[in-house]
Amino acid sequence: MKPILAIVGRPNVGKSTLFNRIAGGKKAIVYNEPGVTRDRNYADVLWEDRSFTLIDTGGFEPISDDRMFIQMREQCQLAMEEADVILFVVDGKEGLTPSDREIADILRRLNKPVYYIVNKIDGTKDEEKVFEFYGLGVERIFSISAEHRYGLGELMDAVLKVLPGREDGDGEGEGEVTRVALLGRPNVGKSSLINRILGYKRVIVDEAPGTTRDSIDTFFEKDGKRYALIDTAGIRRKSRISLRLEKYSIVEALRTIDRSDVVLFILDSKEEVTDQDARIGGFIHEKGKGCILVVNKWDLIEKDSKTIDRVQKRIQENLKYLSYAPILFISAQTGQRVNRILDLVDQVAEQAKKRISTSPLNNYFGQWVENIHPPLYKNRRVKLNYITQVTTAPPTFVIYTNIPEGIHFSYERYLVNRMREAFGFDGVPIRLQFRKKRKD
């Protein structure tokens, strides 16, 4: 699980600019696929070989004038619960404000690293503006210009020294465990489904707090295989935090997805796909996890012989980027089809770990390219020379070409579709990276 670095502060102090500077050019691969949410306020970042998730708290909830301070306090409380390291940004041009002092008081009580940052310092000529911020009672203040990258390197050097390393596992026993996250909006039936799954013949191994705050991981065995169910019910139990800030569940969702091998993305059959569902689905896809779409409360739907086909088509149209995910219609209440879930989990987990050897892969690849050549790019012919698989979970392939930027999304989709026909990869995304062919 990646550590989380959160940016907090008043509106208009430059949080989003700082977010873009840290994430821009240093992100993990960006997947340019239609339908994936783009109004995100997080990024998976690789900075000097250190991987972490960056959160811009300012983007979670629109801030109205009459509730400005209350919502800022809520943001800081959420950062307190979720982040590993916090960047507190203030405005060097505006100077120290009472709201800055209030936020600093909240952050000062945290038992985690907090970096105090004066933004909009455009160079040494503006450094004198920083002095008044020592009135916050902190030992060190970083002066930066997020817009011009001034001071950014020094700040990130300090942050990386205290940023936790990747947490691999949670200390549960020996042997291989398939970690299954249950994700979905409140009241779609996550808890009922967990209880139904665990109601079958099983050996409960342990219940232990997960590395995600407030979540409970339930370890059990079935047919000699070991699983951990990751329950995200803690999203709805934040003490003293307004449930109105529902978008903040992004942090919990990202942590949960990071820790899982397969995600059970639970939908309510009566509502099908809501805007929030689409947002959650985008996170799952971008994180590259195996996914099963579980449509719950199917017993409450009036049906005819074509109901499943109609609903399945609507779901696929609204979640096009998860077209590879199998859809299962269940009722956690009655147990309908719940016994099929773990079999599907096993299949998806196996597909995520599949590796294709280079020789047969290139044999197929040559046929695909010969059948349909990539379109011209600026009147230049795009040549695809070679393909190799570089990693699994998700299966990721590098394709060498003379013009990496010349590959249109539609052609990339064509290649992905051919790969699925030839090799499967059901339930998992396929990542393609295009690199310039090395000269001999």
Q: Specify whether 402 is located in the same domain as 286.
A: no
Q: Is 80 exceeded by the pLDDT of residue 365?
A: yes
Q: Specify whether 222 is located in the same domain as 324.
A: yes
Q: Over the stretch 104-130, which tens digit does the pLDDT of each residue have?
A: 888 888 888 999 999 999 888 888 899
- 331 contact partners, CB below 8 Å, separation of at least 6: 296, 297, 298, 299, 300, 337, 338
What is the DSSP secondary structure assignment for residue 319, as one 8-state letter?
Answer: T
pLDDT confidence of 288, banded at 50, 70, 90?
A: very high
DSSP 88-112: EEEETTT---HHHHHHHHHHHT-SS
Domain extent, residue 64, equals 4-162
CATH of the domain at 66: 3.40.50.300
pTM: 0.72
- Give the residue among 274, 256, 101, 99 at the shortest CA–CA distance from 181: 256
Q: Over the stretch 140-196, which tens digit does the pLDDT of each residue have?
A: 999 999 999 999 999 999 999 998 875 544 444 445 899 999 998 878 888 889 889
Amino acid at 408: H
The pair of structure tokens assigned to 151 is 């001071």
User: How far is residue 161 from each of residues 19, 48, 164, measured CA to CA in Å?
Assistant: 19, 12, 8
CB atoms within 10 A of CB 378: 8
Q: What is the pLDDT of residue 250?
A: 64
Q: Specify whether 232 is located in the same domain as 338.
A: yes
Q: Specify whether 80 is located in the same domain as 184.
A: no
Residue 33 belongs to some domain of the structure: yes
Q: How far apart are CA 352 and CA 261, in angstroms?
A: 8
Q: Tell me the angle at which helices 358-371 and 409-423 cross, rounded to the nearest 10 degrees.
A: 130
Q: Specify whether 19 is located in the same domain as 116.
A: yes
- Give the residue among 253, 282, 286 at the shortest CA–CA distance from 186: 253
Q: What is the pLDDT of residue 230?
A: 86
Q: Peptide bond before 62: cis, by omega within 30 degrees of 0?
A: no
Strand partners, 437: none
Residue 217 belongs to some domain of the structure: yes
Mean pLDDT comparison of 39-48, 171-180, 414-423, highest-scoring range: 414-423
Q: Specify whether 45 is located in the same domain as 94.
A: yes
What is the DSSP secondary structure assignment for residue 363, as one 8-state letter?
Answer: H
Q: Specify whether 152 is located in the same domain as 233.
A: no
Q: What is the pLDDT of residue 76?
A: 55
Q: What is the mean pLDDT of the chain?
A: 82
